[in-house]
Amino acid sequence: MNKRTFKIILVLIFGIVNGQTREGLLQKLEIDNYKSIEKFDAKDEVYKITNIISGRTTYKNLNNYVPKTVGNKNQVNTAKIYPDLVDTTQFTGMYEYWTSVPVGSFTPETIIVGDVNQNGKTELYGSRYRSYPRINERSMYEYNPDTKRFKYKTDMPWEGLESYGSFKQIYDVDQDGKPNVFITGNEPGSDTLAGIRVARILGINDSTNLPTEIIFDYKQWNQMNDPLWGEYDKREGSDLFYCGEGRDRRVVAARYDDNTNTTSTVYVYQIPEDIFYLAGLTNQDIDGDEYADLSTGGLRGDIVIFEYDENIQNYRDVWYGDGGTYNVYIHFNTNDIDKNGKKEIWVGGAAFYDEVPITRLSCLEAIGNNQYEAKHVIDIIGRFSFDAYNGFPVDIDNDGTEEIGLCLDQTFMLLKFTGEENEWSFELFYLKLNNFEQSEGVYFGATMYDINFDGFEELLIMTNRVFNNYQDHELKTKIYKPTALVSVEESELIVTSYNLYQNYPNPFNPKTIIEYSTPSNTHISLKVYDILGNEIAELVNELKSEGMHQVEFNAEKLPSGVYIYTIKANDYIKSNKMLLIK
C-alpha cells in the first residue's frame, strides 16, 4: 500500500464517516441557527464565525496545512491518537452521570468553578440561557453538600450593560485577600456604532455574601479574546492581558491601580498582517526569570510570546514560533510533567493535512531566557473543532503528575504521561464520545473540579441541548462522578467477566500488545483479520487460566492499514480495530 492510497483510507475513515471533511464542516455551520459564517477572503479558505447569542467573533483557517519552513527543522517525537478506532467500552464505569446544572457556556468558553465567598461550598458561574421561553442571565449556582445538588443563588448585575459575554476567571484583582469574579459584557450601542466592551470585576456584597458588588469596569472598543488577570511584572498589583479583535487587531496589557480603583491600558501590540489574528493565553513563568511568559496563538499557526521587560518598564514581544498547525487557540500550562525541572507551555490548533482533519498539541519548554523549543507533539486524528476546543491540566490519580484534559467538539479525553525525564510518551487514560441522538445536544467545552472535596475531580461538560425540532436550545453543564479511578495492584485484581482491551500502542509499527481477560479456565481463540475479512494471524488458540493475559502482535511483514482482532471464548465474541502505520 503506497502513501497516497493510505492517505485516501484516512480521509474515508476520519473525514466522510465523521462529517469532518471541509465541505461537511461548512455545511454544519451554515445550518447552525446560532452562528453566522462569512468567507473572509474569496481566494482563501478563511472564515469569520460569529456566535449570534454571545457576539464573540473568531476566525478559522480551513486550508490544507503548508509548513512555514522546509528542512533543517528539529524532528519532534509525535504521538498519534485515533479516537474513532478506540473501543470506548474499556472506559465504562470510570465516570458516571451525576447531575446537571442549568448554566453553561458559549463556544469556545467554559464555565468557571471556585469558592468566591469562601464558605466551603463549590460555586459554578455560567450563562443561564434558554431560547424559549427566553432566559439570558449570567448566574451563580452553589453546591449543597446535604442534598448533593446545586442550588441557584443569584444573577450578575446588569447596571450599564446591554449584554453580557462570558465569565472568564476567579482572581483577587484588588489583592484584598478576597477572590473576585471577572466577566465581560457590552455597553449599549447605536444603529451605526457597536457598544463599548466591558471587563467587569465583581466582589462580595457584604449583606448577601454573594459576588454582585461591582468593583470596577475596564472599557475597550475591541473584543477581548481569552483575557487573564495576573501578577506579571514583579510589582505589587494586577495586570490584565488579552488579544483584541474589533476596530483593529491587537494584544493589550492593562494595569489596575488600587489607589484610584481603575484600570488603564499600558501596552499595545498591533498584530502584523501576516499573523492576522491571535487568541488563547497562558500566563505562567516558564523560563525561570520570575516574569510570566504570556503565550498566544494565531490563525496561520504563529505562536507569539510576550513578557515584561524591566529595561523598558513595559511588555514586549520576546519570541515567535510555529505551532505546526493552524488556528492555534488552545493554550495551557503544566507543572513539569516529565520531572526534568522545567514547566511546560502547551499550544494547540487544527488543520487539514492532505484533507485529513487533525488537532495538534505541541509541548514547549524553555531552553534559555525567552527561548523555547517543542519537546513533544500529540496529534488527534479526525478532529477539527468549532464548538469546543479547550485543554487543561489535572492530576486525576493524585500521583503528583498532571494528566491532560482535552475537549474537541463531541470528544472528551484524558491523556496520561507514561514517559520519563526528557522521554515523552502518553497513553489514553479516558475517552468519552458524545452521542448526539442520546444526549440531544453538543459539547461546548469541559473542565474538572473536586466539587465535594473528596480528593477526586468531577468531570463537567458544557452542553447545548436542542429541542422543539432543533429550533430552540438551552445551555447546561452535565457533571460526571469518578467511580473507578482508585488503582489496584494487578495481583489484587479480580476478573469477573470476559473482555478484550484496546491494543497499545495504537497506531503501532510494527509491534503492539493485545490484552484480554477471562473469569475462568477457558479455551481462547484470538485472531487478526484485514478489513476484507481475510485471516492474517492466529495469536492464541489454547486453554487459558482465569485472569489477565496479553500477547504481542508483530506486523513487520504487513502493509499499513486497518486490521481487526477478534476474541472468541465460549459464547463471548468481541472485535476491536487497530491501525498499522509504516
| pLDDT value at 174 more than 80 | yes
Tens digit of pLDDT for each residue in 470-509? 788 899 999 999 986 544 333 334 566 788 988 878 888 8
Mean pLDDT across the chain, nearest whole number?
89
Dist. CA 430–CA 412, nearest whole Å: 8
pLDDT of residue 44: 86
Tens digit of pLDDT for each residue in 414-467? 999 998 898 899 999 999 999 766 666 889 999 999 999 988 899 999 998 888
Dist. CA 278–CA 295, nearest whole Å: 10
Output b/e per residue, 5-43; b: 16+ Cβ within 10 A: ebebbbbebbbeebebbbeebbebbeebeebebeebeee
pLDDT of residue 17: 44
Tens digit of pLDDT for each residue in 56-108? 899 999 999 999 875 445 678 899 999 988 888 889 889 999 999 999 998 78
Q: Which residue has the cell 505562536?
A: 303
DSSP 532-543: TS-EEEEEEEEE
Dist. CA 243–CA 7, nearest whole Å: 37
Q: Is 113 exposed, middle or buried (0-12, 13-18, 19+ CB in 10 A)?
A: buried
pLDDT of residue 11: 45
Dist. CA 214–CA 310, nearest whole Å: 33
Reading phi first (left if > 0) and then psi (alpha if -120 to 50, else beta), residue 339 is in left
List the CATH code of the domain at 499-580. Answer: 2.60.40.1930
Domain ranges of the chain: 499-580
DSSP type of residue 14: I
